[in-house]
Chain A
């Protein structure tokens, strides 16, 4: 974790432990689902495709170095049921994202319905999470 924390502006590591999820899509063992990391950056791309939507954002560290983060998330269908649309995130948006980082320290991460606590927070405080709003 220190590798990820070191050097990034506004990157915090949550020490909360989460039980590893088995309800994420597949191949998630590349991510550490027992921790949550917070990053803050500016959106460069939001990709709305099956079966994984993706958010790319530039995160600037204290020295001014920019690192491009890639964040995997759920399918458009699951995001739609959680209240997202393909226009929810736009180029240039300033976002704070709580996510599960890659175990190997690369700036790649996962957020989604399988990992409670992961979410997107906009500059105005508005949030998007992965709770299914159609469940009654």
Chain B
């Protein structure tokens, strides 16, 4: 029984050790499976636009286009919506980054991760992380143009308000080919209205492309308890092969090889 005191001491501490070991796992499980009363300022967990995706974009009901916007819109050949045709030049067909806000509206879920000073959105589509700075900083005056822009957020009551600027002009706002410019500023509003639902509003302000501010149709985002985000890159070399074997034969005009 040599060492039994030590063993008893060790066993006595077991609950604390187990709790310490289990805590990260518990925290993770709760993030994926929101249960019990919800904290409106805690959006962590896996979510998806209802129902089963976001309709491929912020909608067709956009404001009148400027001449610059119209030229860009006409050049976009989408696979969805009233102008849909086989083939087309949707940039994501080459695995270009989907960009913001389009990535929100795709059929894949995303995880919201809240850490000190930041909220991270981790998208299944393209396995992409989008940081939202929550440390009180201002939007940059002259940001480099990027696919997802530069985002800062703050709470207004129970609503998370996220402002984003600094977009490049390479992405579409949705699969219907809605264009935007590098002058675009977006404002998102997320309000958790129950354990499983976030009310979502999006404002798109892009005077170079649209003649007035675009208030996108309000949407609901639903919790996806139990869902984990697996690795899901869009790999250009694999997409090229897919295009050669499936997309191009399916889009070819009849009678042409």
List the interface of chain A (C-beta within 8 A of B): 22-31, 49-52, 54, 70, 72, 75-78, 80-81, 102-106, 108-110, 113-114, 132, 134-136
Are B108 and A26 touching (Cβ within 8 A)? Answer: no
Q: B79: which A residues are within 8 A, CB to CB?
A: 26-30
In the assembled complex, the Cα of A77 lies from the Cα of B124 at a distance in Å of 8
Chain A to chain B contacts (Cβ below 8 Å), 21 pairs: A27-B93, A29-B85, A29-B88, A30-B79, A30-B251, A49-B238, A50-B233, A50-B234, A50-B235, A51-B232, A70-B249, A76-B230, A77-B124, A77-B232, A78-B108, A102-B250, A103-B86, A104-B250, A108-B246, A108-B249, A114-B107
Identify which of A22, A104, A110 contacts B252 (C-beta below 8 A): A104
CA–CA, A136 to B227, complex, Å?
11
Closest to B56 in A: A22
The answer to whether B254 and A104 have CB atoms under 8 Å apart is yes
Q: How many A-B residue pairs have CB under 8 A?
A: 107
Q: Is the CB of B53 within 8 A of A23?
A: yes
**Dominant SS among interface residues on chain A:** loop
**CB–CB A106/B252 < 8 A:** yes
Q: Does B55 contact A (CB under 8 A)?
A: yes
Q: How far is the CA of A134 from the CA of B52 in the complex (A)?
A: 12
Which 7 residue pairs across A and B have the least CB separation, nearest first?
A: A27-B79, A30-B86, A29-B84, A30-B250, A108-B250, A102-B250, A23-B53
B93 to chain A, nearest CB (A): 6
